Structure 1
Amino acid sequence: MDQEEEIKYFVRVRDTDLDGTKMALIALTGIKGIGRHAAKIITQQAEINPRAILGKMGDDEIERIRTAVDNYTSSVPTWMLNRPIDVLSGKPRHLMASEVSLTLEEDINTMRKVRSYRGIRHETGQKVRGQRTKSTGRTGTTVGVRRKKA
C-alpha cells in the first residue's frame, strides 16, 4: 500500500496563513508585500525547490523559509525593496504582511496633517493621482447634464 504524505493546508509565515496546496513560489505571494520576484529570491535563500508543494515540506524547510522572509531586507539591494528610504528612520525597509496597510494609513494621515495637496484630496475623497475629474469619478446621485427649467 502507498502511504500518502500528510499535507498541511495552512502554513503560517509572518502572521499570514499561506495555502499549503500550492507551490512554494506561488504560496509566498500570499503575503502582502511579496511578489513573484521576491518569492523566488526567498526560495533561493532558503535553499528549497520553488516548485515543491508548501504543505508537504518538513518543519525544517518551513523554518528556513521563515528566516529567509525575516532576513529579506538585509539580503537584497535597496532598489529591490518596496520602501528604499523610510521617512521616519531614513533606513531601507521592506514592508510585509500587516505593515503594508498600517504604513499606508500612517503616510496618508501624515499628508493630511501637513496639509499637502495629496492629503487634502484624500480628505475630500477626490482623485489623488492627477486623473481627470470633469466627467468621471463623480459621487452622489447626480449624473449627466441637467436642463434649465423653463
Structure 2
Amino acid sequence: MLRLVGVDLPEQKRIEISLTYIHGIGLKLSREILVKAGVSPDLRAKDLAAKDVASLQKILDTYKVEGDLRKEIRENVQRLKRIGSYRGMRHTMGLPSRGQRTRTNARTKRGKRKTIGAMKKEDAAKVAA
C-alpha cells in the first residue's frame, strides 16, 4: 500500500483521487501537485514508480497537511475562544459561527434534539399512559 505523509492511499484508485484521502488536499490541489510532480493523473497509485513517489513526497512536504493542518485549525479556534471574540463564543456554545440562522435548523452543530410541540390528543394519551 502506498503511504504518503503518514496516510495509506488506496492503490486501486487513480492517483489524483488517492491524494484526496490526505486531510487538506482536495481534487484541485491534488491536480496541481501532480502537474508540479510531472505525474499523470490517470495512473493508478499501485503503478507509480519510486521516483514519482519521491517527487510527490517532496512536493507534499511543502504543504501544511494532516496533523500540522489539524493542529493549526485547533489553535486558531482556541485563540478565538481565549480572546473572547464573537466567533470564539459561538464555538464555545456549540452554535454556528458564520451567521446562519438558529431558530430553526443548525441541527448538525447543536446536536440531536427531541421534537417538542403540538400533539394530537390520542398521541398525548399514549405518552401519558
Matches within 5 A, 1:58-137: 58-71=49-62, 94-137=63-106
Secondary structure at the residue paired with 2:116? coil
Aligned residues: 115
Q: Is 2:48 aligned against 1:57?
A: yes
Q: Is 2:27 aligned against 1:42?
A: no
43 and 135 in structure 1: CA distance in 2 versus 1, 3 angstrom threshold: closer
RMSD, aligned α-carbons? 2.0
Q: Percent identity?
A: 27
Q: Which residue of 1 aligns with 2:14?
A: 23
61 and 135 in structure 1: CA distance in 2 versus 1, 3 angstrom threshold: closer
Specify which of 104, 114, 117 is matched with residue 144 of structure 1.
117
| C-alpha distance in structure 2 between counterparts of 1:48 and 1:67, whole Å | 13
Q: Which runs of 5+ in 1 are unaligned?
A: 1-9, 72-93
Q: Structure 1 length as normaliser, TM-score?
A: 0.68
Q: Which runs of 5+ in 2 are unaligned?
A: 120-129
Q: Structure 2 length as normaliser, TM-score?
A: 0.77
Q: Which has the higher helix share?
A: 2
1:65-92 superposed Cα distances (whole Å, 9 cap, x missing partner): 1112224xxxxxxxxxxxxxxxxxxxxx
| C-alpha distance in structure 2 between counterparts of 1:129 and 1:143, whole Å | 26
